Amino acid sequence: MRAFFVGTTVALLGVGLALALWASPPDAYQGEYVRIMYVHVPSAVAAYAAAAVACASGALYLWRRQPRFDSVTLAGAELAALFSGLTLLTGMLWGKPVWGVWWAWDARLVSTAVLFLLYLGALLVRGLAEDPDRGRRLCAAVAVLAFLDVPLVHYSVVWFRTLHQGPSVGPEGVKIAPALLVPLVVNVAAYLALLSLLLVERTRLAQAEAGR
């Protein structure tokens, strides 16, 4: 089962990469830089999903104090930090040629940076706590509270005036051409599969490290 899961994830990543680099046409306004979207958007979706996992497992750990929930919280927090960091990096790489700057004090950028820092903070308080049990509780609490930033990140382009483009998929319909949408959907699926695989493996490693 694990081999099948790994193979499926690798296949999805390979197909997504091929579609992004060769099948997808340049954008009418962004040109070739639109290809960064195929890493940027899936990374953001994966960050949301990892944050949701860390939030749910953190809440369960605070409630039940069961070690298995702590292991999932740790894995989710690490991956939320990883994918939100990747979202920031790819956003900056896109922003320089399109906006002319690496960084702008834009609502979407700032709220994403806050999300990244919150999950780094969750890991930091866990690692620095003198009492391991207290560190686990603090990590779980921060992971739960950090998830409150996810709606702010997602809806920042709707709630605030921002340089960032508005949502391409929403209640009003799809505002992206099929030639761009198909590679994007495949890459989102690939990154979610990768996230799931990393969550399972990191949770197992955390349990082994703790002797559970």
Q: 202 pLDDT band (50/70/90 cuts)?
A: very high
Q: 2 pLDDT band (50/70/90 cuts)?
A: confident
Over residues 125-137, the pLDDT tens digits come to 999 988 999 999 9
Q: 103 pLDDT band (50/70/90 cuts)?
A: confident
Q: Specify the number of domains making up the chain.
A: 1
- Both tokens of 162, joined, read 């921002």
Inter-residue contact 79 to 195 (CB < 8 Å): yes
pLDDT at site 126: 93
Please name every residue paired with 27 in a beta bridge, in sequence order, or none if there are none: 31
Inter-residue contact 78 to 113 (CB < 8 Å): no
Over residues 38-90, the pLDDT tens digits come to 999 999 999 999 999 999 999 999 999 999 999 999 999 999 999 999 999 99
Measure the CA dihedral 147/150/151/155, to 10°. 170
Inter-residue contact 58 to 143 (CB < 8 Å): yes
Round to whole Å and give the CA distance between 31 and 27. Answer: 5
pLDDT at site 112: 93
The answer to whether residue 169 scores a pLDDT higher than 70 is no
- Both tokens of 56, joined, read 């749910």
Handedness of CA 203, 207, 208, 210 (dihedral sign): positive
What is the extent of the structural domain holding 169?
2-209
**Residue at token pair 């709630």:** 159
Round to whole Å and give the CA distance between 87 and 118. Answer: 15
**Residue at token pair 């996992």:** 53
**Residue at token pair 């994830």:** 9
Q: What separation, in Å, do the N-terminal and C-terminal C-alpha atoms of the chain show? A: 23
Q: What interhelical angle do 37-64 and 178-209 show, nearest 10? A: 40
Which residues have C-beta within 8 Å of that of residue 108, sequence separation ≥ 6?
153, 156, 157, 162, 164
Please name every residue paired with 60 in a beta bridge, in sequence order, or none if there are none: none
The answer to whether residue 199 scores a pLDDT higher than 80 is yes
**Residue at token pair 């009492």:** 131
- What average pLDDT is seen over the chain? 89
What DSSP designation does 163 have?
S
Over residues 9-37, the pLDDT tens digits come to 999 999 999 999 888 888 777 888 889 99
Round to whole Å and give the CA distance between 79 and 161. Answer: 29
